[in-house]
């Protein structure tokens, strides 16, 4: 019997094109028993329903993956999220991780940096360098990436409300290294809507925050085309207590808002959409998580094609980073967390992630130790090199259970998005407290199930043991804040303060108007204006968001 024409077309026009361009993506791979591993498992005879619903790897609707060869061509980017204390200390951790085989960096910023305060601000007291690295000025960013070539390393930065400022600092550090902005690669999270829903590190009200985001889209489109302008995050939505369905729905509803804002601002959807990226949680229900990733890809492809009329295939692809689930880590029997993280990493890989961070065993207690970070990285490497799940594309595709779950998650997430649309979109829904209530109810249900014993957490509500002494934990010295304040004072004494003030004045005027703000922020950064000084100018113009009670 002859092959379905769609399969012939995919093999000839999609797969062959990739393999002709990159022959190294077509090595012969064998299983541990010496059996040949198919590049992708496809039925010999394919009906039209299969083509419409699943398609093929690297082809609309991308259910089976965004690349025709996936991990046969290259593994996902192995990132380890890190940042603590001073820029110098974090730099040592980054260089250690690169030596151990990390293929991308991921920066954690401290709380003052995340909400736009300098380390010497009264609001920062007691928090400097605690949950991430303190970055007050270009000088700190230069120290953070000392001896790390920014034309060779991809960097992800978990920063939202002040994302424009940190991106500007990163671009200027690259500039000082002799690396042009069109060469830098990485991602800024830059997803402020989920801050109002699930995380809380917002500064400005939603509407001016959207302006900052679309200004970044426009600047990167012209000046940093390899840089992902946003990482639309379901991770924190899930960490706040959502279900897998809610994670997909609220994340894509946020993404719809960003795309609409950019289109309304006059940007061509196919000019910026290829640089949109997503960030999802990988929890312990392995098959549900695999189905979630597959459903999210398919749903987003349809949204971009049908709602926004995106023409480029790259505009329709949902590319995503994954982090294993922090909320599943337990302080009891911490070694159990290694097993949890391994299962969650496996789910992310089976689901087709482009990038992955694996949590460390001791993160329920403190910032991870160097040994724990290495074990977390080794977990990814074992999955990549030893498990065999990378030998074929979408290895669980075709499973009755996984396909059924994929369909149900897509359907239920689409219904939630339709509900949000009926409310006028995600911003009115947030203002009405709708997603917040949904997440709170899901979190309450989850915790109640644990307390009643309906949901088993090994070592917590079943199979408990008498706890031994806690393992060694990493501590950030309280003197970090004092040192950061001292360096800030020295910086302000030696910089050209007149140049800083002029740059801030121009930024304020631009913020009151309609100019793209990125060039003005770059000028302020180059003059060593601080994060807090720049954000205070924007606070003055845009105002500060006050949380609306969700109940």
Tens of pLDDT, residues 494-550: 999 999 999 999 999 999 999 999 999 999 999 999 999 999 999 999 999 987 554
| Residues 476-490 pLDDT 10s | 777 889 999 999 999
CA-to-CA separations, 157 to 117, 330, 382, in angstroms, rounded = 17, 26, 26
Mean predicted confidence (pLDDT) in 451-464: 96
Distance between CA 54 and CA 20 in Å, rounded? 25
Q: Give me the pLDDT at residue 551, please.
A: 41
What pLDDT is recorded for position 211? 96
Write the DSSP assignment of 269-320 as a string of letters. Answer: HHHHGGGEEEEEEE-S-HHHHHHHHHHHHHHHHHIIIIIS---SHHHH---E
Continuous segment of H or E residues that includes residue 455: none
Stretch 326-355: mean pLDDT: 97
Distances (CA, A) of 155 to 6, 209, 267, 415: 38, 23, 26, 35
HSE-up (13 A, CA, CB side) for residue 44: 2
Looking at the chain, the whole-number percentage of residues with pLDDT higher than 70 is 99
Superfamily grouping for domain 75-452: Methylmalonyl-CoA mutase (3.20.20.240)
Q: What pLDDT, on the 0 to 100 scale, is given for residue 550?
A: 43
pLDDT, tens digit (0-9, with 9 covering 90-100), for 218-251: 999 999 999 999 999 999 999 999 999 999 999 9
CA–CA separation, 61 and 160 (whole Å): 29
Determine contact, residues 52/354, Cβ cutoff 8 Å: no
pTM, full prediction: 0.93
DSSP string, 163-191: HHHHHHHHHHHHHHTT--GGG-EEEE---
Q: Where in the chain is the domain with CATH 3.20.20.240?
A: 75-452
pLDDT tens string 28-38: 888 999 998 98
Q: Residue written as tokens 């082809």?
A: 59
Rounded CA separation 38/403 (Å): 20
Q: In the structure, what pLDDT confidence band is assigned to residue 455 with cuts at 50, 70 and 90?
A: very high
Please report the beta strands in 208-284, taking only residues with DSSP state E, as ranges in sequence order. 227-228, 230-233, 276-282
> What is residue 471's predicted lDDT score, i.e. its pLDDT?
73
User: Do 199 and 240 form a contact (C-beta atoms < 8 A)?
Assistant: yes
The residue ranking higher by pLDDT, 115 or 73, is 115
Residue 298's pLDDT is 98
Q: How far is it, in rounded angstroms, from Cα 40 to Cα 57? A: 8
Least confident of 44-58, 158-172, 207-221, 347-361: 44-58
Measured from the Cβ of residue 355, the count of other Cβ atoms closer than 10 Å reads 24
Task: Give the largest CA-CA distance in the chain.
Answer: 80
Nearest of 544, 481, 470, 540 to residue 505 by alpha carbon:
540
Mean pLDDT of 82-91: 91
pLDDT tens figures, 430-446: 999 999 999 999 999 99
Of 381, 341, 336, nearest to 358 (Cα)?
Answer: 341
Distance CA 410, CA 408 (A): 5
CA distance 375 to 353: 20
Q: What is the mean pLDDT of residues 67-89?
A: 91
User: Using 50, 70 and 90 to split pLDDT, how confident is the model at 39?
Assistant: confident
Higher pLDDT, 4 or 215: 215
| 219 in Cβ contact with 523 (< 8 Å) | no
Mean pLDDT (whole number) for 269-294: 97
Residue 64 has pLDDT above 90, yes or no: yes
CB 81 within 8 A of CB 322: no
């Amino acid at each position: 019997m002859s092959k379905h024409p769609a399969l012939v077309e995919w093999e000839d026009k999609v797969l062959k094109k990739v393999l002709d361009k990159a022959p190294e993506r077509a090595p012969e791979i064998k299983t541990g028993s010496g059996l040949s591993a198919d590049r992708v498992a496809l039925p010999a005879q394919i009906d039209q329903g299969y083509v419409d619903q699943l398609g093929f790897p690297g082809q609309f609707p991308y259910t089976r993956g965004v690349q025709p060869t996936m991990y046969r061509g290259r593994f996902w980017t192995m990132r380890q999220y890190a940042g603590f204390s001073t820029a110098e200390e974090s730099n040592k951790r980054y260089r250690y991780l690169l030596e151990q085989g990390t293929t991308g960096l991921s920066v954690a910023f401290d709380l003052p940096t995340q909400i736009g305060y300098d380390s010497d601000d009264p609001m920062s007291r007691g928090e400097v360098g605690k949950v991430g690295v303190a970055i007050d000025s270009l000088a700190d960013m230069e120290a953070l990436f000392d001896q790390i070539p920014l034309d060779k390393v991809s960097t992800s930065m978990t920063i939202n409300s002040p994302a424009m400022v940190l991106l500007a600092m990163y671009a200027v550090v690259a500039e000082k290294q002799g690396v042009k902005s069109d060469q830098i690669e990485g991602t800024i999270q830059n997803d402020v809507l989920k801050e109002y829903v699930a995380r809380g590190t917002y500064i400005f009200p939603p509407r001016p925050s959207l302006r900052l985001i679309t200004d970044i889209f426009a600047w990167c489109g012209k000046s940093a085309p390899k840089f992902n302008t946003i990482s639309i995050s379901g991770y924190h939505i899930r960490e706040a207590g959502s279900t897998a369905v809610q994670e997909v729905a609220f994340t894509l509803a946020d993404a719809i808002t960003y795309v609409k804002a950019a289109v309304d601002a006059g940007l061509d959807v196919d000019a910026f959409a290829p640089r949109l990226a997503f960030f999802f949680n990988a929890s312990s229900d392995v098959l549900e998580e695999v189905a979630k990733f597959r459903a999210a890809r398919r749903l987003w492809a349809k949204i971009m094609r049908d709602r926004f009329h995106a023409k480029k295939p790259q505009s329709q692809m949902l590319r995503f980073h994954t982090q294993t689930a922090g909320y599943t880590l337990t302080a009891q029997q911490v070694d159990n967390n290694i097993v949890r993280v391994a299962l969650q990493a496996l789910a992310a890989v089976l689901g087709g992630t482009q990038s992955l961070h694996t949590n460390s065993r001791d993160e329920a207690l403190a910032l991870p130790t160097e040994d724990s970070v290495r074990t977390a990285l080794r977990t990814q490497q074992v999955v990549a090199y030893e498990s065999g799940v990378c030998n074929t594309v979408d290895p669980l595709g075709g499973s009755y259970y996984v396909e059924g779950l994929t369909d149900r998650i897509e359907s239920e997430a689409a219904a939630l998005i339709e509900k949000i649309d009926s409310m006028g979109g995600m911003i009115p829904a947030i203002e009405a407290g709708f997603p917040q209530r949904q997440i709170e109810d899901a979190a309450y249900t989850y915790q109640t199930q644990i307390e009643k014993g309906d949901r088993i957490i090994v070592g917590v509500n079943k199979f408990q043991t008498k706890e031994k002494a806690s393992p060694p934990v990493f501590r950030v010295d309280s003197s970090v804040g004092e040192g950061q304040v001292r360096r800030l004072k020295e910086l302000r004494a030696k910089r050209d303060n007149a140049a800083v003030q002029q740059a801030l004045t121009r930024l304020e005027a631009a913020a009151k108007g309609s100019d793209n703000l990125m060039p003005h922020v770059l000028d302020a950064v180059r003059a060593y204006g601080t994060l807090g000084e720049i954000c205070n100018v924007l606070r003055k113009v845009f105002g500060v968001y006050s949380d609306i009670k969700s109940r």
